[in-house]
Amino acid sequence: MEHGVTVHRMSGLFTPAGLTHLTRELNRHRAPRRLLLQYVPHAFGMKAMNVPFCAWFASRHRDERWVFFHEIVYPWSLSAAPRHQLLAGVTRVMARLVGEVADRAFVSIPSWAEHLPPRLRHRAEWCPIPSTLPTQVPATARAETQTALGAGPWLGHFGTYGAHIGGPLMSVLVPLLRADGQRKALLIGRGSQGFVQELGALHPELASRVQSRDALASEEVAAHLAAMDLLVQPYPDGVSTRRTTTMAGVSLGRPLVTQPGHLTEPIWRESGAVALADNLTPEALVRVAERLLSQPEERAALGERAARLYRERFALERTVEALLRAAP
């Protein structure tokens, strides 16, 4: 127990045996009980199709049920493989099972509300996801990191380098590095080493100017992000407040270039906290990055707007305030 909060760790929580144990433990506590479900289909096992768990949650009639939808459904596409068609359909069934019984709902991005049952759709509250990294870096740590990296300018990216982002990222980094022999790129996060090796094999003339940091502690990740001159974060569905990789850079006041898309909230364009390309093409992102790299004052102003927006709208304190306001 810490600060009045007791954490119970249970293995196999979402399996039939785990749910039986969870039911028994919950029933030991007197009603009324409030359950807050952090909803992410892929976190529940069974290849993101754990319908039994959602049915269990729906059966808890004596409990007040709150749901925070971090992710909600798998994208639907007629051209997708049959297994992805099945996943898209099942995740919609799961969302309806949980949404139909939720007494209160929160969503990480406003677009998720479109997939909720009509009774809940207009009552879902938007709670952006805060950064999962330290939001402040000591000046000494940043200076030491900059010294270790050497002269730049440095282009950074933070992510996991899956195929849906790795391809667009390479299409942006390669022309940016070719345009100026002084530029260097730092790839941070799980999978970065493999990405750097692939980039070096395809473009050996750039290999000496690209580095990776695959396994850093959170404080070190923050220090390396803070040392970047510009963060380049392409997303095929656009930037949104569920992107903790974007939140990490924004919270540290780093200038960041990214893309619009169908999941992008209006706040990104209205606030000017990130530099948005005109469209989802790599060429559009390169144009914005080139403009910022040539204008240090604009980069600095962009970083200041990012840090201010994070403090005012996205910080962990704002999420806690929203949850406390919702409580009776």
- The answer on 201 and 239 residing in a single domain is yes
- Number of domain units in the chain: 2
Whether residue 328 lies inside any domain: the answer is no
> What is the pLDDT at residue 87?
95
Q: Is residue 6 part of a domain?
A: no
Whether residue 280 is contained in a domain is answered as: yes
* 11 located within any domain: no
Q: Could you tell me the two tokens for 101?
A: 């019984």
Could you tell me the strand order of the sheet in which 154-158 lies?
A: 210-213, 184-188, 154-158, 230-233, 256-258, 275-276
Of the candidates 35, 33, 57, 34, the one whose C-alpha atom is nearest the C-alpha of residue 44 is: 57
HSE-CB at 168 with a 13 A cutoff on CA atoms is 22
pLDDT at 183: 97
Of the three residues 68, 102, 126, the one that is the final residue of a domain is 126
* Direct distance between the N- and C-terminal alpha carbons of the chain, in angstroms, rounded to an integer: 24
Question: What is the rounded CA–CA span in Å between residue 108 and residue 90?
Answer: 21
| Per-residue pLDDT, 328 | 60
Residue 156 phi/psi, 5-degree rounding, is -120, 155
Split the chain (328 residues) into runs of 10 and give each run's mean pLDDT.
77 90 90 92 94 96 94 89 94 95 92 90 88 93 94 94 92 97 96 95 96 93 97 94 93 96 91 94 96 96 96 86 70
Task: Name the strand (E) or helix (H) holding 96.
Answer: helix 82-101
CATH number at residue 265: 3.40.50.2000
- The pLDDT of residue 2 is 66
The secondary structure element, H or E, covering residue 186 is: strand 184-188
Whether 94 and 46 share a structural domain: yes
Point out the domain boundary residue: 93, 126, 159: 126
Q: Residue 26 and residue 22: Cα distance in Å, rounded?
A: 6
CA 131, CA 248: separation in Å to the nearest integer?
A: 5
Give the pLDDT confidence score for residue 91 in this predicted structure.
96
Residue 38, phi then psi, degrees to nearest 5: -85, 100
The token pair that represents 91 in the structure block? 């995740």
- Tell whether 199 and 56 lie within a shared domain: no
104 lies in the same domain as 157: no
- Residue-range definition of the domain harbouring residue 247: 139-314
SS3 276: strand
Q: 297 and 153: one domain?
A: yes
